[in-house]
A and B are shown apart, each in its own frame.
Chain A
Amino acid sequence: MALLEIKNLVKHFPISGGFFGRKTGDVKAVDGVSLSVEDGETLGLVGESGCGKSTLGRCLLRLIEPTSGDIIFENQNITEMNFDHMREMRRKMQIIFQDPYASLNPRMRVGEIIGEGLQIHGIADGAELKDRVMALLAKVGLREEQYGRYPHEFSGGQRQRIGVARALALNAKFIVADEAVSALDVSIQAQILNLLQDLQEEYDLTYFFISHDLRVVEHVSDRVAVMYLGKIVEIAPADQIYTDGQHPYTRALLSAAPVPDPTRKAERIVLQGDVPSPINPPSGCSFHPRCAFAQKICSEEEPPLVMDGDHGAACHVFGPGATVKPN
């Protein structure tokens, strides 16, 4: 069963300029994304900087208000909810941020940071609140005597544990992990990934795991979606996307990641140029200017995301939606 379903989600940030501050254009950060997240799974979202993956993650919790589209969580359309109702919903939907240095209030004690949600929602108070926070600290691998410390007294990995405890405090079901381990050293990264996995098993959590690190995404995800310029270009079970990626961007992205195996000389597809601007994305398939397989149709028509079972790709040339032969 789908815990969360998004339909044709769009987020355009207006750009204003000129003398009267008129609107001069849009940054098309998320441009028509539809996907569903099953109960208890980890959906990985990969893409390069500026592709809109963080904006998408934040839209799911309405931390950024989407321009249009529907977000259905537990069969309720949350895009139509008013402020109070939405706040209730956020008990079940939480986020862990990338930067463990910027996402914790430096003037609050760790116990207060973790317990704040419990207090706001009137779930616990006084001694009970403290007990619950202590239990959470232990759960994420911190010590109880660290309750009264301030964030600056912790290392990056420990801070990320605090972020995890905060997300868990309200018994969330759905957690958006936005580059949750990217700022950490690899040995610490492994600790946090293991923690997230343990908690998922224990509490039956559903993760929306955003990262640019393909190896990490492969390791944690059940399914992986690849995003390019505000659109999902491919979605498939994790093992399939790594062995049988269809979209040329997916294949280029995967081949670009360095392989920690000196005996295997990977055949690398080196993409030319940079990601185009999301203000004026190319016509048709937005990847066509960098694509080695681009044909006439690619610059004219936007390929839809066509599914074949649980594997979908948005490409005119490859995958289930292919209409022309590769040349």
Chain B
Amino acid sequence: MSALLQIKELRTSFFTSDGEVRAVDGVTFDIEEGKTMGLVGESGCGKSVTALSVMQLLSKGVGKVVGGEVIYRGKDLAEYSDAEMRDIRGNEISMIFQEPMTSLNPVFSIGDQIAESVRLHQGVSKKEARARAVEMLHLVKIAEPQKRVSDFPHQLSGGMRQRVMIAMALSCNPSLLMADEPTTALDVTIQAQILELIKELQEELGMSVLLITHDLGVVAEQADEVAVMYAGKIVERAKPEIIFARPSHPYTIGLMNSVPGVIDKSAKRLQAIPGIVPSPLHWPSGCRFRDRCSQAEEQCGQSQPDLIEIEPGHWVSCLKVPVSAAAA
């Protein structure tokens, strides 16, 4: 299986009046063809910025990719011109956002909005694009697509708007879908519908998915591989079967302990991670988790630990985690 997208040592910074915010600071992972990569972490850890960097959707003059490579189908995306990048965005790589309420334009019908990207990328007639919009609405299981295609966003519920967003993202048969917290704003029963829909469509269309979420339950069910991000870096990466069975980085363990019923179902009390995420303006030296880590020692402050394969397919960046014989 070959990698569709390879992210190598990606570094993205925002230049603010307070200084350089190193939001993503050396992130490396691959997304294989047809697979789902789950990126988990708390707010401010850099998971959304990672996706925006791939899409080159950082606001000009403020955010900038300052290092690393994003290789899509063997070619570095940084080498593309703006026009070439526009051809890829929404066509080969598309994105859905968290807020289905604010991501749609309120003054255009949903049909027009879906047809827009089809017309832009595939150069088809207005009529064909409209037909394609109806087809997409049918695909995302909106009842009576013929009628609904002329509806405006305010006439739809939150779950239906998210379906429209998915229809829009998939209208040009992308190879890679980046879903940034696609179900966070939705109720659980609607979340279940949307996640099932993404899975079904993925099987049908064979696309890869980068699923960004803070919900461990969602990655456990949807992802083929999981990467845990903390303070702009990936601290642990493995298949869900491995990472949930043997979480190894103290942050991953802390995250799982913070959610009721992941590690110890009968625990009366949660083991919270003390303190808060450090400011990206002043990351601590060495391991960025050490201020909140119960295992931290002096050596943790000296250098940033590398992401090391501790057993086959299980990568952890922590000095305290022993490497198994199988991987060494």
Chain A interfacial positions (CB closer than 8 Å to B):
48-49, 155, 157, 185-191, 193-194, 197, 212, 214-216, 218-219, 252-253, 255-263, 266, 268, 270-271, 274-275
Does B196 belong to the interface (CB within 8 Å)? yes
Q: Which B residues between 152 and 210 are near A, CB-CB below 8 angstroms?
A: 157, 159-160, 187-193, 195-196
- B258:A258 contact, CB within 8 angstroms: no
Q: Does B150 contact A (CB under 8 A)?
A: no
Interface centre among A185, A218, A268 (most CB of B within 10 A): A185
Which residues of chain A have C-beta atoms less than 8 A from B245's C-beta?
263
B193 x A260 contact (CB < 8 A): no
Cross-chain contact B255 with A187 (CB below 8 angstroms): yes
Shortest C-beta distance, A243 to chain B (Å), equals: 12
Q: Within 8 Å CB of A212, what residues of B? A: 187-188
Q: When A256-B192, A260-B217, A260-B256 are in contact, do A194 and B244 touch as well, CB less than 8 Å?
A: no
Q: Are B270 and A190 in contact (CB under 8 A)?
A: yes
Q: Is the CB of A187 within 8 A of B260?
A: no
Q: Which of A48, A194, A216 contacts B188 (CB 8 A)?
A: A48
Please measure, in the bound complex, the distance between the C-alpha atom of A261 and the C-alpha atom of B221, giving whole angstroms.
Answer: 8
Query: Which residues in A have their C-beta under 8 angstroms from that of B101?
Result: none
Q: Which of B43, B189, B221, B272 contacts A194 (CB 8 A)?
A: B272
In B223-262, the 8 Å CB interface with A consists of 240-241, 244-245, 254-262
Collect the chain B residues with CB atoms within 8 Å of residue A155's CB.
276
Chain B nearest Cβ from A156, distance in angstroms: 9
Contact B270 A260 (CB under 8 A): no
Asked if B276 contacts A258 (CB within 8 A), the reply is no
> B314 contacts the other chain (Cβ, under 8 Å)?
no
Which of the residues A214, A258, A270 comes within 8 Å of B221, measured between beta carbons? A258
Q: In the A-B complex, list the 4 residue pairs whose CB atoms are closest, starting with the nearest.
A: A258-B217, A219-B260, A190-B272, A190-B258
Partner of B220, one of A186, A189, A194, A261: A261
Q: Which residues of A have CB within 8 Å of B255?
A: 186-187
Given contact pairs A190-B258, A212-B187, A259 touches B270 in the complex (Cβ within 8 A): no
Interface pair A187/B187, CB less than 8 Å apart: no
A215 contact set on B, CB distance < 8 A: 217, 259-261
A257 to B277, CA, bound (A): 27
Q: How many A-B residue pairs have CB under 8 A?
A: 110
Kindly state the interface size class of chain B when it binds its partner. Answer: 35 or more
- Is B271's CB under 8 angstroms from A190's CB? yes
* Interface pair A185/B220, CB less than 8 Å apart: no
Tell me if B52 is interfacial: C-beta within 8 Å of chain A: no
Closest to A259 in B: B217
The prevalent SS among residues of B at the interface is helix
Q: List 11 A-B contacts (CB under 8 A).
A: A48-B187, A155-B276, A186-B214, A186-B255, A191-B274, A194-B269, A259-B220, A259-B221, A263-B241, A274-B159, A274-B190
Given A157-B276, A194-B270, A263-B241, do A186 and B259 touch, yes or no (CB 8 Å)?
yes
Chain A proximity of B159: nearest CB distance (Å): 6
| Contacting residues, chain A, for B260 (C-beta < 8 A) | 215-216, 218-219
Tell me if B262 and A270 are in contact (CB < 8 A).
no
Besides A186-B259, A256-B188, 8 more A-B contacts (Cβ < 8 Å) are A186-B214, A190-B257, A197-B269, A258-B217, A260-B261, A261-B244, A270-B196, A275-B187
B residues 106-153 with Cβ under 8 Å of A?
A: none
Contacts of B78-118 to chain A: CB distance below 8 A: none
CA distance A212 to B273 in the complex (A): 23
* Chain B min CB distance to A41 (Å): 15
Task: From A187, A214, A262, give the contact of B244 (CB < 8 A).
Answer: A262
B42 within 8 A of A: yes
Cβ B187 vs Cβ A49 within 8 A:
yes
Whole-angstrom distance between the alpha carbons of A262 and B219 in the complex? 9
Question: Does A48 lie within 8 Å of B189, measured CB to CB?
Answer: yes
Residue of A whose beta carbon sits closest to that of B40: A186
Q: How many angstroms from the CA of A191 to the CA of B271 in the assembled complex?
A: 8
Give the nearest-CB partner of A242 in chain B: B261
Residues of B within 8 A of A258 (CB): 191-192, 195, 215, 217-218, 220-221
Instruction: Assess whether B216 is interfacial by the CB under 8 Å rule.
Output: yes
Q: A49-B187, A253-B188 are in contact. Are A185 and B257 (CB under 8 A)?
A: no
Interchain CB contact (< 8 A) of A189 among B191, B244, B258, B261: B258
The CB with the most chain B CB atoms within 10 A, among A189, A216, A261, A271, is that of A261
Which residues does chain A contribute within 8 Å of B277, judged by CB atoms? 185
B141 to chain A, nearest CB (A): 9
Cα–Cα distance between A219 and B264 once the two chains are bound (Å) = 11
**Cβ–Cβ < 8 Å partners of A49 in chain B:** 187
